[in-house]
Structure formats: structure tokens, C-alpha cells
Amino acid sequence: MNKIKMLYEGKGKKLYSTEKKGILIAEFKDDLTAFNAEKKGSESGKGELNCKISSFLFEMLEKKGFKTHYIKRIDSQNILCKQVKIIPIEVVTRNVATGSLTKRLGIKEGTILPFALVEFYYKDDALGDPIINDDHCKLLGIIQNCEELDFLRSQAKQINSVLKDFFDSKNLKLIDFKLEFGRDTEGNIVLADEISPDSCRFWDKDTNEKLDKDRFRQDLGNLKLAYQEVLNRIMA
Ligand code: UDP
């Protein structure tokens, strides 16, 4: 399968059409953005690491029965995936308080949450991805019925259970992560986008060292070493 035409360029990936209708190639970029793209950077080799980490995790979730857009990894920086219409909701699941949750609600950084908290954010850069509730989703017409939101919530919780246990076995704490879903040609809602240290927070279980994009957000340095460490651990 070859790249025919670039259809879309996002912050972390480029999407290309292929010879086959409905099948796309997603190329993972080295670019880094944070704070609604106010902070920009690039780290050579980051795209490859994310591509490998995300592919590994999507393969794991597919094996567990989750429906996703993922088909296969074709080389170190590109995957083959099904074309879907992305639902403009960022589904964030949190196990430990940090980031925007601590700022918004004053919950102390590092507090272990008594249950997995699922939040919806409206994927709209111009509005700064505001947090939204079920009624906002209905109002904006981004879901067809309430059952769809219940499905997203339940998928997020189930995926969290799988990933949390898996990362725990690799001596990593899954602090929080963001998922995106899309509709396939038959209208089914499937997991899409990526799962990588760009979209998740991982802390080392013993030292709480941050092994994710917070290294870029907070200028901690050694970003690639951290992403490589995540890849090494999940492959081990
Ligand atoms: N996240 C993401 N993309 C976004 C916003 C958040 O991948 O546009 C991820 C982020 O990496 C973290 C989780 O979602 O794992 C929760 O992020 P938070 O709301 O704390 O945002 P931030 O601190 O980045 O403002």
C-alpha cells in the first residue's frame, strides 16, 4: 500500500489516502505541541517511538476484542488504518490527579482517585478544547443519542482497566490518558487516533519519574529517552 495524497495534517500525525478506498496510512510526526499549540517543538525519532508504542497497544486492545481503526504497522513510522469520521470529543480517563484536573478543582497533585474519572472535552482548537457534559454534546449535535456517550464512557473505563493492569506489570503507573473515537463506514464507533506518551501520562512506579509529554510541557529534558524507556518496558 502506498501514500497517494495527504488528506489531513494534525499535530501528531499526517493522514494519507492509499490505492484502497477507506484505507489510510497514518504517519507519526516528530512534532510536539502543548498548551493548545502555544508551545511547539520537535524531537527527531519521537514519531517512530510513538508509532511503535501505539501500534503495540492497539494490537493488544484488538486481541482483547476492542474494535479499533488499526490494521497494522507498515514500517517504523507508519501504520495502516481504516478511514473513520472522528467524533470531536477527547475522552480523558484519570486514575491520579494531575494536569488540568488539579488546576480546575484544586485536588492535590498525585492524589489517587477513588474511581476512574472519565471526562469529555470538545475537540476544538479555537475554543481551547473546553470540558463538556452530556447535554453539551447533545446541544452541539456531536453524538446521536445518550447511549453513544455511555458507550464511550464504558469503552474508556474498560480500556483503562486493561491498560492500567498492563502498565502496572511493567512498573509504570498509568496516571491519565486521552482517547479518540470515530465512526466507520457502517456507522460503528471504533477506537481511533493513537495511544502514546504524547496522549498518556506514565510515572515510574518506584520513583514517580515522568515518562511522557510532561517532559516537554515542563521542560524536563530527555524526552526521547523517556519514550524509549516506555517502549523498552512494554516490549520486555
Ligand atoms: N491530553 C491529550 N491531548 C489534549 C489534552 C490532553 O492527549 O489535547 C491528554 C494528556 O496527555 C493527559 C490527559 O489527556 O494524559 C489529561 O490531560 P489534562 O486535561 O490534564 O491536560 P493538560 O494538563 O495537558 O492541560
Count of structural domains, the chain: 2
pTM (predicted TM-score): 0.97
The amino acid occupying position 133 is N
Residues 114 and 145 placed together within one structural domain of the fold: yes
Task: Tell me the pLDDT tens digit for each residue of 167-218.
Answer: 999 999 999 999 999 999 999 999 999 999 999 999 999 999 999 999 999 9
**Ligand 1 centroid to 193 CA: how many Å?**
14
> How many beta carbons lie within 10 A of that of residue 158, not counting itself?
15
Pocket test for ligand 1, best of 32, 36, 57, 92 (most atoms within 8 A of CB): 92
Output the domain CATH number for residue 35: 3.30.200.20
Task: Tell me the pLDDT tens digit for each residue of 79-89.
Answer: 999 999 999 99
17 assigned to some structural domain: yes
- How far apart (Å, rounded) are the C-alpha atoms in residues 176 and 162? 13
- Longest Cα separation, the chain: 51
Residues 42 and 126 placed together within one structural domain of the fold: no
Which DSSP string do the residues of 153-196 spell out, in sequence order?
A: HHHHHHHHHHHHHHHHHTTEEEEEEEEEEEE-TTS-EEEES--S
Backbone angles phi, psi at 79, to 5 degrees: -125, 155
Above 90 in pLDDT, residue 63?
A: yes
Residues 73 and 91 placed together within one structural domain of the fold: no
Query: Which of these three, 82, 99, 123, is where a domain ends?
Result: 82
14 assigned to some structural domain: yes
Mark out the alpha helices in 84-181 (DSSP H runs). 99-105, 134-140, 146-169
Residues 105 and 59 placed together within one structural domain of the fold: no
- How far apart (Å, rounded) are the C-alpha atoms in residues 69 and 133? 26
**Ligand 1 centroid to 1 CA: how many Å?**
33
Pocket test for ligand 1, best of 199, 200, 217, 218 (most atoms within 8 A of CB): 199
**Ligand 1 centroid to 21 CA: how many Å?**
33
1 assigned to some structural domain: no
229 assigned to some structural domain: no
Residues 33 and 149 placed together within one structural domain of the fold: no
Task: Tell me the pLDDT tens digit for each residue of 141-153.
Answer: 999 899 999 999 9
Output the domain CATH number for residue 214: 3.30.470.20
Nearest-CA residue for ligand 1 atom 25 is 100
The amino acid occupying position 111 is T
Residues 35 and 123 placed together within one structural domain of the fold: no
**Ligand 1 centroid to 58 CA: how many Å?**
19
106: confidence class by pLDDT, cuts 50, 70, 90: very high
Residues 209 and 141 placed together within one structural domain of the fold: yes
Query: Which of these three, 82, 117, 150, is where a domain ends?
Result: 82
Above 90 in pLDDT, residue 11?
A: yes
Which atom of ligand 1 lies closest to the CA of 102?
20
Ligand 1: lining residues by beta carbon, under 6 Å: 90, 92, 99-101, 129, 176-178, 199-201, 213
What domain range includes position 66? 6-82
Over range 60-80, report the average pLDDT.
98
**Ligand 1 centroid to 199 CA: how many Å?**
7
